[in-house]
Amino acid sequence: MRFDQFTVTLLITNPDGPVLTAEQENALQEAHMAHLADLHDAGHLIAAGPLMDPPDRHYRGLSILSVDVATALELKGEDPAVRAGKFLVKAMPWMVPAGAIVAGSGHHHLLIDAGDSIPAGVVVPKDSTHLHFGKAQSSVEVKLTPGKHVLTLQFADGIHRSYGSQLATTISVTVK
């Protein structure tokens, strides 16, 4: 059997990290997401996302990169949140059967009364009007209030960045 090798990185809350205001926290999160988008655009990042590790949120995020461990540590070290001392990075090699992970793939999002598409490169929000379908779902029940609604099916990459209007389709419905 053949294997492909990737690198998995963990973002770990730095116990000695800086105390930030909500505004600083939001700005750092935006810079962090922009860094992930840049890694994806460069072809290094396969997937990334938060880890839900309550109550202390020690483990904050996981990324899969298509580079060796040393390069992954270098790239992740450039993350503004890591440079600011908010997170520490741990990297380890990961092997999967050849062809199991395909770069450039993604999943659908259902936009409910949220416009006819999201511009290319913009991260699709995760809220009650932007439903994510990253688990191979083939159906969903959506409860809509009576009246007219606009539903858009938007395709986005593995880190939820929209592929834009070219990969979106919109319908209008009336609920009685």
Q: How confident is the model at residue 43 (pLDDT cuts 50, 70, 90)?
A: confident
Which residue among 69, 97, 125 closes a domain? 97
Say whether both 86 and 141 belong to one domain.
Answer: no
90 plus 113 within the same structural domain: no
What per-residue confidence (pLDDT) applies to 84? 97
Q: Which of these three, 97, 127, 161, is where a domain ends?
A: 97
**Secondary structure class of 2 (helix, strand, coil):** coil
What's the CA gap between 24 and 8, in Å, rounded? 27
Same-domain pairing of 92 and 113:
no
Q: Are residues 77 and 111 in the same domain?
A: no
Contacts of 61 (CB under 8 A, 6+ apart): 10, 11, 48, 49, 50, 51, 87
What domain count does the chain have? 2
Token pair for residue 173?
Answer: 């419905």
Segment 97-118 mean pLDDT = 81
Residue at a domain's end among 73, 97, 121: 97
Pair (35, 89) in one structural domain: yes
What's the pTM value of the predicted model, to 2 decimals? 0.61
Check whether 102 has a pLDDT greater than 80: no
Distance CA 83, CA 104 (A): 28
Q: What is the rounded distance in angstroms from the CA atom of residue 168 to the CA atom of residue 93?
A: 36
Least confident of 93-107, 115-129, 139-153, 158-172: 93-107
112 shares a domain with 53: no
Task: Give the C-alpha separation, 22 to 40, whole Å.
Answer: 27
Distance between CA atoms of residues 111 and 131, nearest Å? 7
Question: What are 133's two structure tokens?
Answer: 């379908």
Domain with residue 66: its CATH number is: 3.30.70.1060
- Mean pLDDT within 15-32: 94
Question: Is residue 12 scored above 90 in pLDDT?
Answer: yes
The residue segments making up the domain with residue 145 are 106-175
> Which stretch, 110-114, 117-121, 124-128, 156-160, has highest mean pLDDT?
110-114
Do both 33 and 67 map to the same domain?
yes
